[in-house]
Amino acid sequence: MTQNMSRKTISFIKMHGLGNDFILIDDLSKSSSHLSPVTPEVARKICHRRFGVGADQVLWLKAPRGSTARSMPHARMEIFNADGSAAEMCGNGIRAVALYLKGRGSKPGVGEHKGEYKIETLAGLIRVLVLENDLVRVDMGPPRLGGGFEKPEAAGETLTVLGQKLAFYEVSMGNPHAVIFVEDVERYPVDQFGSAIERNPRFPERTNVEFVQVMSPEKLRIRVWERGAGLTLACGTGACAAAVTALATAKVKGKVTVQLPGGDLAIEWAGSGASVLMEGAADEVFRG
């Protein structure tokens, strides 16, 4: 894709995780002085579904900044939403990145970490395991629970939006989420309430919004309004936030299947202090 101002061509890979789609730009082998000209303005143009390639986010891969005594991260992932804003983390996107790294020939960890990739994000270092069937398991780290989880009530905080009083739970998966339980998620006006809640003054950094229907003790159905992207077919961090909230409030138990419009994710969480584990698919669509 050519950006008129810089007259430079950007090579990209179009990928998706359950229909949550991305433009992946690989600058892993470039020095800081030769990076692609990706800015919020360029990201908005690339993501536009009529005048650009079309995507929910841009995933920009760069050489990692940090290292540990035991290992070096494989990549650093910076994320631009469709509106040009930055995102700390993207669960579907990081699965796509891990599969891309495998296809690129990047060697994963060895020994006990065989098949594992370590990726830097604004939410911290994320460990991602590519399984033999090319499903991807992500250690999302421990969630941070906000207000509304206090026992014994655990009834949520309240917010008045569009004239209605809503109960919600605040969860951070490295990025902010407001989780709302509803009776029928397919009929709920997600676009109206999601947009209003995202920009409500209660959330100074804006927020992702999950509308969740409990289908059974092991299954949730959700729709997600993503901060900076709007209504998407899937959201990995949103699925994690929804599952964590349902587990913490005893609405479900054990390993939870989260049904999204684009497909299913499997979420596990053992409780306070434990990491959230997410497993699902991702695919490459085309290159340009």
123-158 residue pLDDT tens: 999 999 999 888 999 999 999 999 788 866 778 999
Q: Rounded distance, CA 241 to CA 178, Å? A: 8
For 83, other C-beta atoms within 10 Å of its C-beta total 13
The question of whether 90 is a catalytic residue gets the answer yes
For 151-206, the pLDDT digits (tens) are 667 789 999 999 999 999 999 999 999 999 999 999 999 999 999 999 999 999 99
User: 212, 235, 256, 281: which is the annotated catalytic residue?
Assistant: 235
Cα–Cα distance, 242 to 223 (Å, whole number): 10
- Known active-site residue 47: no
Residue 177 carries which side chain, given as an amino acid letter? Answer: H
**Which residue out of 53, 79, 90, 94 is catalytically annotated?**
90
pLDDT one-digit tens code per residue, 56-109: 999 999 999 865 545 688 999 999 999 999 999 999 999 999 999 999 988 777
The CA distance from 13 to 181, in Å, is: 36
β-pair type (75-81, 86-87): antiparallel
Q: What is the pTM of this model?
A: 0.91
Of the listed ranges 12-16, 64-68, 132-136, 241-245, the least confidently predicted one is 64-68
CA of residue 153 relative to chain centroid, distance? 29
Which residues partner with 277 through β-bridges? 139, 268
210 CB neighbour count, 10 Å cutoff: 33
d(CA 152, CA 148): 11
